[in-house]
Structure 1
Amino acid sequence: MIAADNTLPEGVLVAWYGDDFTGSAAVMEALSFGGLPSVLFLDIPTLEQLQRFQGLRGIGIASTARSHGNDWMDINLPAAFEWLAGLRAPITHYKVCSTLDSAPHVGSIGKAIDLAMPSFKGRWVPCLIAAPAIRRYQAFGNLFGAAPGGVFRLDRHPVMARHPVTPMDEADVTLHLAKQTTQTIGLVDLEALQGHADEALRAEIARGAKIVCIDTVTADDLSRAGELIWRNREDGLFAVGSQGVEYALLAHWRNASLLEPTERSTSAGPVERIIAVSGSVSATTSAQVNWAEENGFDVVRLDPVQVIKGDAAAEKSACEQALQVLSAGRDPLILTARGPDDPTVEAVHAAVSHSGTTSEAANAKIGAALGSVLAQLLKTTGLKRAVISGGDTSGHAMRQLDLFALTALSPTIPGAALLQGHSETKAFDGLQLALKGGQMGSPDYFGWIKQGGGTA
């Protein structure tokens, strides 16, 4: 079961399938800025699309699985898993949110693991949710995340406990996942990881565990987790987790002298104008909106209730207002709500209830409407830089931009880099785009992207 290496194998090292677009992009940026050229496709690529990119070490597919139910997964995941398995990468990763956004009925991580089993024959499925670089930590099975005001256990987290789709009521990762799958779930806890990780893993597998969660709090823990996964990969391993999986592998490869350290990436440079759209209702995004308004951005409202009702006037009005903002020499920030306490949030819940539709369908409509507004503005203005804020929003909005792939361009904070789009459509080819999860980024994030990103 233990694999010893003096060099990294040739070809694709990591293949991945992301359950939302922002998270999918976070994996690509981790690999790319870590020295491993990677590409993120927005669907299973054609052979011609794949051949446009040479020397790849990472290949991923972005999806909106996190916002869908089990029927959607039954239809869409098996073909994607089969295609990824065909790449024969040592590690194939089902990328989930670092705050474990999921439930038995929507975005089920357990369901995804069950559907992957026919394509991947490994003896175990490592589950690494923690990612210290973005202040997500797991200790003795419990997941913690940072927020304004400190670090909180996930079921007490001021954002995740109030998530509009999957509010977190259980911080123990093993118990949370046990609601979503019948697979036996084990744990390599901090004490085991720091002392006898391989023995602990063997013991968990021997008692019948298929999914084995791994604690991680520090950078040293991260490297140990990466070593545990890599040494026990057998003939190809299916893993589940946040971009912490890639952070862990990269840390181990560097510590083992299998991968050279990379130079700090530079900024893509400032632009005169930028367009931002946001469907996030997180407190983090709310602070970013407040900063943006004080620094050259004007807020434009897209009425989500009108969108749910199918009223095309909502998009038309938002486009007209955004063009006026641009004409006045400022940057439009088109949003559906300013944060968790915005009255619009309750209005949307009421509209969903009265319309007879599902939250899943309503969120898809809202995200698509934001994407449609962005697409119209890009075509009209010829601008080449934009931001989409909101994990679920990004996936639905991106479908309106006619892109088939993304590559990494310039970093910001981990998990929210500036990317470059690839398209057959001239208006979108070469688009510089940042995809930001609702809880990601510093208050000045929108301004940072306008300036071109880049590490300090």
Structure 2
Amino acid sequence: MTKAALQKGEIFLSYYGDDFTGSTDVMESLALNGIPTALFLKAPSQEEVASFRLKNQISGSAERLQAFGVAGISRSLTPLEMDHELPGIFEHISKVPSRFFHYKTCSTFDSSPGIGNIGHAIDIAFRYFPSGIIPLLIGAPSLNRFCIFGNLFARVDGVTYRLDRHPTMSRHPVTPMDESDIRRHLAKQTKRKIHHIDLLALEKSEHLQIDFIKKLSIEEGEYLLFDTYTEKHLRNVGKLINRFSLEQRQLLVGSSGIEYALCHYLQENGQLELPPSPKSPAKVQELIVVGGSCSPPTKIQVEWAIAQGFADIRLNTVKLVNPEQAESEINRAKQLMFEALERKQSLALYTALGPDDPSIDATNKEMSRLQRKGIPSSAVLAGTQGRLLREVMEKTGKRRVVVAGGDTSGYVSRALGIYALETLMPIAPGAPLCTAHSHHPDFDGLEICLKGGQNGKQNFFGSILHGKGIS
């Protein structure tokens, strides 16, 4: 936190994450850079922010918050659903004075005019956080995301792909990325003009960068997209955001690259001290993995865990979506979980292995047969996994948990009564191990990781089990 804001007890930054697991990414980037941060599952009141106390103090000695976020779902909403969901949340957040407000998007900019429309979300946010320039920063080198001459690239297994040729994002089932140019992609979602400062301009001196932006003649409420390829570019962007921002409630849009840019700037100017690296928690006897993601990386991670001796507990999803068979399948899975934990064995509870798992098509067909198209199978399955985890841990005691998948993370958190999270230690970029704040005394203080499907390497669950190392 800036020294001046620490003395005043101000909130430096508030944010809304457009999906659940991506919201932890911002919390991690702030906390590890010295800004005490919590992530709330619902928009908190000003009193709740002021009275919140951190359980861990990895950001220094401060227990009080200097930043907070709200884990959202707008990435999966239509514009009409956003109109219902977002105004109340933004109004709540706006009542807590802060230097910046960040609308956090995925670093792969998942969105379309019909689902997760970022342009529409910003039109709503602008009512509560009116700003001059709207900085737009997607690139995050630490996450292997790069914006080069306006085009977004992502690196996977040592190979860098333009986003419209990315093996996963180009065939995303809901928001496939068929355009890598952020300006063209966002132009389908907004009428606001999108300006751009590229790598060549960012390589120039600071005063020439400032002159470049001034010559763009950006009007109120127009976007400024920043290229980002290296950490040096992030530092330059951090300076420019501070230079061209309002002193309060400045609206920012993009990935956690925004937090890294701001923190780099503050640290270089002696306004923020980098805290010591957090201590690794001890290895646990058993880890419970709850897999709701169908991404290729999660498939590899689940298979790795099973090969290492984790109990293999695959849910029969066809039965789970059938009201006549669901309860027996839940009882079967629950018994297997009890037996594994009795043996002191870690376990992997999952619904599918990868996007081509035949159970996905079979489950969708069963849903159609039962004429329950109005209830997404992901919601049914994620809710079941949350219930299973809660009931098992209520009887056997809390254990370290990792959840893979945004929908599943949300349902698990609700099932465990979790209302806020704080960073405990980094495991993989964007997927920290967290400490939970829960209304349920059995789960308050639970060590839990809520990760997106794409995060982490093959041995990610092993890193969580041992509580050390970055996967």
TM range (shorter): over 0.9
Match of 1:287 in 2: 300
Which residue, out of 423, 426, 434, partners 1:419?
434
Q: Secondary structure at the match of 1:235?
A: coil
Looking at structure 1, the residues matched to 74 and 426 of structure 2 have their Cα atoms a distance apart, in angstroms, of 25
**Alpha-carbon deviation of 1:357?**
5.1
**Alpha-carbon deviation of 1:112?**
0.9
Matches within 5 A, 1:363-374: 363-374=378-389
Looking at structure 2, the residues matched to 426 and 48 of structure 1 have their Cα atoms a distance apart, in angstroms, of 22
Q: Structure 1 residues 111, 306: closer, same or farther in 2, change over 3 A? A: farther
Match of 2:263 in 1: 250
Which residue, out of 180, 200, 223, partners 1:211?
223
Looking at structure 2, the residues matched to 313 and 232 of structure 1 have their Cα atoms a distance apart, in angstroms, of 60
Is 1:190–1:215's contact at 8 Å kept on the other side of the alignment? Answer: yes
Looking at structure 2, the residues matched to 359 and 169 of structure 1 have their Cα atoms a distance apart, in angstroms, of 28
Matches within 5 A, 1:51-130: 51-53=51-53, 54-130=63-139
**Alpha-carbon deviation of 1:386?**
0.3
Is 2:132–2:219's contact at 8 Å kept on the other side of the alignment? Answer: no
CA offsets 1:158-204 (integer angstroms, 9 cap, x no match): 11122232222111111111222222222221112222433333344
Q: Secondary structure at the match of 2:85?
A: helix
Q: Secondary structure at the match of 1:116?
A: helix
Looking at structure 2, the residues matched to 308 and 180 of structure 1 have their Cα atoms a distance apart, in angstroms, of 35
Match of 1:19 in 2: 18
CA offsets 1:298-321 (integer angstroms, 9 cap, x no match): 221123333444433343332222
**Alpha-carbon deviation of 1:207?**
6.4
Q: Secondary structure at the match of 2:340?
A: helix
Match of 1:272 in 2: 285
CA offsets 1:363-383 (integer angstroms, 9 cap, x no match): 222222222222222212112
CA offsets 1:56-105 (integer angstroms, 9 cap, x no match): 11111112222222232111211111122222211100111111122222
Q: Structure 1 residues 48, 81: closer, same or farther in 2, change over 3 A? A: closer
Looking at structure 1, the residues matched to 75 and 106 of structure 2 have their Cα atoms a distance apart, in angstroms, of 9
Looking at structure 2, the residues matched to 226 and 219 of structure 1 have their Cα atoms a distance apart, in angstroms, of 11
Match of 2:459 in 1: 444
CA offsets 1:108-127 (integer angstroms, 9 cap, x no match): 21121011111111112111
Is 1:20–1:395's contact at 8 Å kept on the other side of the alignment? Answer: no
Q: Structure 1 residues 263, 360: closer, same or farther in 2, change over 3 A? A: farther
The residue identity in structure 2 corresponding to 1:364 is A
Looking at structure 2, the residues matched to 225 and 359 of structure 1 have their Cα atoms a distance apart, in angstroms, of 44
**Alpha-carbon deviation of 1:428?**
1.2
Pair 1:341 & 2:353 matched? no
Q: Structure 1 residues 148, 268: closer, same or farther in 2, change over 3 A? A: same
Number of positions where the alignment pairs a residue of Structure 1 with one of Structure 2: 452
Looking at structure 2, the residues matched to 39 and 58 of structure 1 have their Cα atoms a distance apart, in angstroms, of 7
**Alpha-carbon deviation of 1:251?**
1.2
Looking at structure 2, the residues matched to 450 and 6 of structure 1 have their Cα atoms a distance apart, in angstroms, of 37
Structure 2: gaps spanning 5 or more residues: 54-62
Looking at structure 1, the residues matched to 221 and 46 of structure 2 have their Cα atoms a distance apart, in angstroms, of 38
Looking at structure 2, the residues matched to 27 and 123 of structure 1 have their Cα atoms a distance apart, in angstroms, of 23
TM-score, structure 1 normalization: 0.93
Which residue, out of 235, 245, 268, partners 1:233?
245
The residue identity in structure 2 corresponding to 1:190 is L
Q: Report which stretch shifted further, 273-282 or 391-400.
A: 391-400
Looking at structure 1, the residues matched to 303 and 437 of structure 2 have their Cα atoms a distance apart, in angstroms, of 32
Q: Structure 1 residues 357, 70: closer, same or farther in 2, change over 3 A? A: farther
Is 2:148–2:229's contact at 8 Å kept on the other side of the alignment? Answer: yes
Q: Report which stretch shifted further, 442-451 or 308-317.
A: 308-317
**Alpha-carbon deviation of 1:326?**
1.9
Match of 1:188 in 2: 197
CA offsets 1:270-308 (integer angstroms, 9 cap, x no match): 110111101111111122112211223122112333344
Looking at structure 2, the residues matched to 166 and 306 of structure 1 have their Cα atoms a distance apart, in angstroms, of 28
Looking at structure 2, the residues matched to 384 and 255 of structure 1 have their Cα atoms a distance apart, in angstroms, of 40
Q: Structure 1 residues 259, 212: closer, same or farther in 2, change over 3 A? A: same
Looking at structure 2, the residues matched to 282 and 398 of structure 1 have their Cα atoms a distance apart, in angstroms, of 21
Match of 2:405 in 1: 390
Match of 1:306 in 2: 319
Looking at structure 2, the residues matched to 61 and 145 of structure 1 have their Cα atoms a distance apart, in angstroms, of 26
Q: Secondary structure at the match of 1:368?
A: helix
Q: Report which stretch shifted further, 361-370 or 112-121.
A: 361-370
The residue identity in structure 2 corresponding to 1:233 is S
Is 1:274–1:383's contact at 8 Å kept on the other side of the alignment? Answer: no
Q: Percent identity?
A: 38
Looking at structure 1, the residues matched to 407 and 198 of structure 2 have their Cα atoms a distance apart, in angstroms, of 31
**Alpha-carbon deviation of 1:425?**
1.0
Is 1:264–1:455's contact at 8 Å kept on the other side of the alignment? Answer: no
Q: Structure 1 residues 64, 299: closer, same or farther in 2, change over 3 A? A: farther
Is 1:66–1:108's contact at 8 Å kept on the other side of the alignment? Answer: yes
Structure 1: gaps spanning 5 or more residues: none
Looking at structure 1, the residues matched to 404 and 431 of structure 2 have their Cα atoms a distance apart, in angstroms, of 10
Looking at structure 1, the residues matched to 170 and 163 of structure 2 have their Cα atoms a distance apart, in angstroms, of 7
Q: Secondary structure at the match of 1:82?
A: helix
TM-score, structure 2 normalization: 0.90
Looking at structure 2, the residues matched to 169 and 357 of structure 1 have their Cα atoms a distance apart, in angstroms, of 31
Looking at structure 1, the residues matched to 27 and 306 of structure 2 have their Cα atoms a distance apart, in angstroms, of 31
The residue identity in structure 1 corresponding to 2:419 is F
Match of 1:179 in 2: 188
The residue identity in structure 1 corresponding to 2:112 is A
Give RMSD over aligned pairs. 2.2
